[in-house]
């Protein structure tokens, strides 16, 4: 089982379409997916930490470390500390990243 | 005087170059993002490093956390909101039996949907074991397929998730859409690359499914067993919106986690589940327990009667 609490916000299907066009084998495709995953995780975490006041960082990181999959627990916490729009902010970050990645892939 | 170009220098595999070029670009991008992150949040980097975790590979950590929770018997996931309690599930199963024995006029499709609504949580995601058990009974009694969430000790990351439209897979080198069977409307075309198990035999290609084997926690440590076990493994796919069901075999790995989908279906699978415009939707996927290989691939026409308001082949 592998699930992250923000998985439901990830919508990079156009990026995936391009990867599928370029990768010829499943191994190549999965390697490229892994690289995108690494970028996504850092971007999403950066977005959260940018908006979460510094004094709550450690508490959030402990919760994330213990239950990285727990959507309900982590988003309830973030809504309380950041605000109701946290999911919107992450979506916005993902949207920007998608455009950035598509630019990289196509250039 | 002209000479042939030296082959070792000039015979470059363009496709290979494309992949390597993209890999290098993504690697650079990844390094840049990581560097920025570390500069902005050194305390967070230290937090993860102290615990031996790479944020880029946090999915591996998540897999370990969840597997540990499951092994120690703790709650893997909180009981889903929609699953009220066990007595109600029992009642749902009873309804199935009643439908078969006492109310033969209720369309099986309606009965299936009624039970799915009673059993499934509101949020689409991994199901707890008791919910999966209830669904196994429902599928057995209404659809008539012996399907299991876990089979021979294997279990998918999730059995309830979003399925997305995939393209046709190459059956042999040089296979193209010029000769490949296609849907009359809105066909997805052919995937440029091969499936996770290479070229897919004709008999396996039409009704194929894609599951996220690459994210299984033990995928890398239990090879080649898992690779063989999943290859062309039959699954029952049930569209939870309209009750359409199809038997498919696993012929590729994916989709990527960042697509927001957990499964994929061949153009034929998707067309049967929801019609030509159906590109994404919630489904349940269980393994078919079919040791004698008697269950055919393709639609499961357990109910020929459409229920009012929900067409059998259109969401």
Residue B249: which H helix or E strand, with range? strand B245-253
Same domain membership, residue B160 and residue B34: no
Task: Judge if B37 and B149 occupy the same domain.
Answer: no
CB atoms A43 and B33 under 8 Å: yes
Q: How far is CA B31 from CA A4, B24, B25, B35, B37, in A?
A: 22, 10, 10, 6, 10
CA–CA distance, B114 with B303 (Å, rounded to integer): 14
Minimum distance, in Å, between the CA of residue A47 and any CA atom of chain B: 10
Task: Please give the average per-residue pLDDT across B299-313, as a whole number.
Answer: 62
pLDDT of residue B76: 46
B18, B256, B263, B280: best mutation site toward chain A, by most A Cβ within 10 Å? Answer: B256
* CA-to-CA dists, residue B136 to A107, B59, B95, B159, angstroms: 49, 29, 14, 11
- In angstroms, the separation between the Cα of residue A53 and the nearest Cα of chain B is 13
Looking at the structure, do residues B286 and B145 belong to the same domain, yes or no?
yes
Q: Judge if B36 and B149 occupy the same domain.
A: no
User: For residue A24, is pLDDT > 90?
Assistant: no
B44/B278 Cα distance (integer angstroms):
42
Residue B154: what are its φ and ψ, rounded to 5°?
-100, 145
Confidence band, pLDDT 50/70/90 cuts, at residue B80: very low
Write out pLDDT tens, residues B37-64.
999 999 999 999 999 999 988 988 887 7
Helix (H) or strand (E) holding B147: strand B147-148
Listed by start position, the domains of chain A span: 7-106
Whole-number pLDDT of residue B186: 83
Residue B41 and residue B176 in one domain: no
Task: Name every chain B residue with its beta carbon within 8 A of the beta carbon of A11.
Answer: 258-260
**pLDDT tens for each residue of B275-286:** 999 999 999 999
How many domains are there within chain B?
A: 2
Q: In Å, how far is B70's CA from the nearest CA of chain A? A: 10
Cis peptide before A92 (omega within 30 of 0): no
What is the average per-residue pLDDT within A87-107? 91
CA distance B294 to chain A (A): 30
**Same domain, yes or no: B171 and B292:** yes
B189-235 tens-digit pLDDT: 999 888 999 999 999 999 999 999 998 888 888 999 999 999 999 99
Confidence at residue B307, expressed as pLDDT on a 0 to 100 scale: 47
Residue whose C-alpha is closest to residue B300's, from B144, B125, B186 = B144
Residue B147: the pLDDT is: 98
Residue B70 lies in a domain: no
pLDDT tens digit string along B132-181? 999 999 999 999 999 999 999 999 988 999 999 999 999 999 999 999 99
More confident residue, B269 or B306: B269
The minimum CA-CA distance between B260 and chain A, rounded to whole Å, is 5
Report the pLDDT value the prediction gives residue B302, as an integer from 0 to 100.
Answer: 86
What does the pLDDT read at residue B254? 93
Closest CB to A39: pick one of B29, B53, B157.
B29
Residue of B22, B77, B125 with shortest CB distance to A32: B22
- The structure tokens listed for B215 are 């994210």
In chain B, pLDDT over 90 holds for what percent of residues? 60
Nearest to A35 among B27, B215, B216 (CB): B27
Question: Which residues, including other chains, have CB under 8 Å from residue B154's CB and lie 6 or more apart?
Answer: B226, B229, B230, B287
pLDDT band at residue B74, thresholds of 50, 70 and 90? very low
Is the model more confident about B218 or about A39?
Answer: A39
Instruction: Return the pLDDT at B315.
Output: 39
pLDDT above 70: percentage of residues in chain A = 98
Q: Are both B45 and B185 inside the same structural domain?
A: no
Question: For residue B40, which residues of chain A lie inside 8 Å, CB to CB?
Answer: 46, 49
Q: Over 90: is that where the pLDDT of B29 sits?
A: yes
What is the number of other CB atoms lying within 10 angstroms of the CB of residue B239? 25
Note whether B209 and B250 are within 8 A (CB).
yes
Taking only residues 30 to 59 of chain A, the set having a beta carbon closer than 8 angstroms to any beta carbon of chain B reads: 30-33, 35-43, 45-46, 49, 57-58
Q: Is the pTM of this model over 0.90?
A: no
Minimal-distance CA residue of chain A relative to B39: A46
How sure is the predictor about B73, in pLDDT bands with cuts at 50, 70 and 90? very low
pLDDT in the model for residue B114: 92
The answer to whether B76 contacts A1, with C-beta atoms less than 8 Å apart, is yes
For residues B75 and A65, the model is more confident at A65
Q: Is there a single domain that holds both residue B26 and residue B163?
A: no
The pLDDT of residue B12 is above 80: no
Distance CA B295, CA B289 (A): 9
Alpha helices in B41-147 (DSSP H): 42-50, 58-71, 86-101, 108-119, 129-138
Residue B305 scores a pLDDT above 80: no
CATH code of the domain containing B291: 2.40.40.10
| CA distances from residue B309 to B114, B115, B303 in whole angstroms, order as listed | 14, 17, 15
Q: Nearest-CA distance from A40 to chain B in Å?
A: 8
Answer for the pair B261, B164: CB distance below 8 angstroms, yes or no. Answer: yes
- Asked if A95 reaches chain B (Cβ–Cβ under 8 Å), the answer is no
- The percentage of chain A sitting over the pLDDT mark of 90, rounded to a whole number, equals 71
pLDDT at B82: 42
- Decide if A49 and B44 are in contact by the 8 Å CB cutoff: yes
Find the domain containing B188 and state its range.
141-299
Average pLDDT, chain B: 84
Positive or negative torsion for Cα A102, B40, A72, A1:
positive
Using an 8 Å CB-CB cutoff, list chain B residues near A58. Answer: 43, 47
Confirm or reject contact between A14 and chain B (CB < 8 A): no
pLDDT at A22: 87
Mutate to test the interface with B, among A3, A14, A18, A71 (most CBs of B within 10 A): A3
Mean pLDDT score, A40-54: 96
As a whole number, mean pLDDT of residues B18-43 equals: 93
């Amino acid at each position: 089982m592998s699930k992250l609490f923000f998985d439901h916000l990830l919508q990079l299907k156009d990026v995936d379409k391009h990867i599928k066009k370029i990768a010829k084998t499943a191994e190549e495709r999965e390697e490229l997916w892994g690289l995108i995953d690494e970028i996504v995780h850092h971007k999403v975490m950066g977005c959260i930490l940018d908006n979460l006041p510094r004094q709550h960082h450690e508490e959030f990181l402990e919760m994330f470390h213990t239950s990285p999959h727990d959507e309900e627990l982590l988003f309830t916490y973030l809504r309380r500390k950041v605000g109701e729009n946290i999911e919107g902010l992450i979506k916005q970050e993902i949207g920007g990243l998608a455009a950035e990645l598509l630019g990289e892939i196509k250039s | 005087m002209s000479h042939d170009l030296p082959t070792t220098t000039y015979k470059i595999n363009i496709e290979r170059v494309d992949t390597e070029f993209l890999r290098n670009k993504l690697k650079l991008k990844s390094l840049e993002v990581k560097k920025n992150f570390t500069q902005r949040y050194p305390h967070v980097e230290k937090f993860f490093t102290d615990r031996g975790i790479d944020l880029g590979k946090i999915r591996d950590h998540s897999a370990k956390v969840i597997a540990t929770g499951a092994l120690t018997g703790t709650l893997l996931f909180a009981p889903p909101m929609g699953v009220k309690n066990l007595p109600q599930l029992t009642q749902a199963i009873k309804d199935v039996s009643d439908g078969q024995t006492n109310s033969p006029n209720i369309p099986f499709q309606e009965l299936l949907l009624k039970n799915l609504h009673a059993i499934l949580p509101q949020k689409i995601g991994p199901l707890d074991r008791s919910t999966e058990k209830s669904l196994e009974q429902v599928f057995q009694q209404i659809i008539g397929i012996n399907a299991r969430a876990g089979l021979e000790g294997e279990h998918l990351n999730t059995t309830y998730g979003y399925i997305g439209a995939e393209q046709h897979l190459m059956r042999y080198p040089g296979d193209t859409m010029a000769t490949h069977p296609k849907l009359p409307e809105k066909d997805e075309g052919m995937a440029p690359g091969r499936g996770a198990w290479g070229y897919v035999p004709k008999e396996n290609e039409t009704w194929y499914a894609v599951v996220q084997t690459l994210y299984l926690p033990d995928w890398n440590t239990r090879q080649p067993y898992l690779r063989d076990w999943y290859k062309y493994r039959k699954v029952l796919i049930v569209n939870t919106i309209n009750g359409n069901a199809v038997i498919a075999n696993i012929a590729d790995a994916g989709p990527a986690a960042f697509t927001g989908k957990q499964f994929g279906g061949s153009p034929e699978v998707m067309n049967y589940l929801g019609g030509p415009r159906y590109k994404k939707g919630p489904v349940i996927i269980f393994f078919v327990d079919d040791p004698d290989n008697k269950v055919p691939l393709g639609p499961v026409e357990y109910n020929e009667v459409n229920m009012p308001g929900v067409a059998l082949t259109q969401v």
